[in-house]
Amino acid sequence: MLALSQGNYVDTLTPEMKALLRGIRHVSLDMDGTIYLGSTLFPYTLPFLKKLGRLGIDYCFLTNNPTRSLDDYIAKLHKLGVPCGEGQMYSTTAAAIDHIKTHYPDARRLFLLGTPSMISQFEAAGFVSCADDPSDRPDAVVAAFDMTLTYSRLCRCTWWASQREIPYIATNPDWVCPTDEQTILVDCGSICACIEAACGRKPDMVIGKPNPGILTGILEKNGIAPSQAAMVGDRLYTDVKTALNAGACGVLVLSGETTLETALSSAPEDRATLICESIDELGQLLEEARR
């Protein structure tokens, strides 16, 4: 287990790090690469969550993956044996819906490049999903991690994105999605790079991590100060960066995408507050800080 203090990684907790961990009241957890990998739950996940309960620390799950609705994610967690209530699950789909309603209140018709599960969540929120038809002009375009992607819909999305007067939003910046299978899952960031290469336009807004709003919104709802929160995940450029941007504790776990070598070679301003092999070690540190 490694802690960051004054820009150097050390094997034991400094008094400052102990004080920081002692003050943590809320932990926001990334999912894939953090509590499970693909469809495999890490063996230490359930003991870690129980430990948080014993320490009086609440938690929620915060994912950049928009392929499932909140109900689908909760059902997946329950199937894996992970307790999760409706208020403990937040995704970039939910954040994108909130963003559009706030910043584009007149937008109703959306061209949604996403999975049927994601589209159903937008429709449940009152939006209309536009067809793959040049006459069905949207009020806004949303590009997401789409595991059901077809060439025709990618081309149509690119066409609408090329119309600069139409707002263009991406759900998350991830290049790939973690998996335990022998393949590469091309994620939203890569899809948006394809769109940019074809029409020359980047998204007007990328909703998910590292945008701090996805974390600060949760903290505000629960009356938690950023200094009392930790964002935990396996990626520097999304999970840790979100925490740093929000003024929270950024915990990097080495159970997913990022290696220790990559973490140690990152720029000082991008470095995690704390590096752990897994959430199991984070639980040990939180417990030790409270002794």
The enclosing H or E element of 140 equals strand 140-143
d(C-alpha 63, C-alpha 239), whole Å? 9
Domain ranges of the chain: 60-224
- Is residue 214's pLDDT more than 90? no
The distance of Cα 63 from the centroid of its chain, to the nearest Å, equals: 3
Which runs of consecutive H residues, i.e. helices, occur in the chain?
Answer: 15-22, 45-54, 70-79, 92-103, 116-124, 151-162, 188-199, 213-222, 241-246, 260-264, 279-289
Q: Tell me: the pLDDT tens digits for 41-58?
A: 999 999 999 999 999 999
Region 200-215 average pLDDT: 92
Region 88-95 average pLDDT: 91
Q: Tell me: the pLDDT tens digits for 229-269?
A: 999 999 998 899 999 999 999 999 999 989 999 999 999 88
d(C-alpha 194, C-alpha 202), whole Å? 10
The fourth-level CATH superfamily of domain 60-224 is HAD superfamily/HAD-like (3.40.50.1000)
Phi, psi values for residue 268, rounded to 5°? -55, -40
Which residues lie across from 142 on neighbouring strands?
112, 169
Whole-number mean pLDDT of the chain? 92
Looking at residue 34, what DSSP letter applies?
A: T
Global pTM?
Answer: 0.77
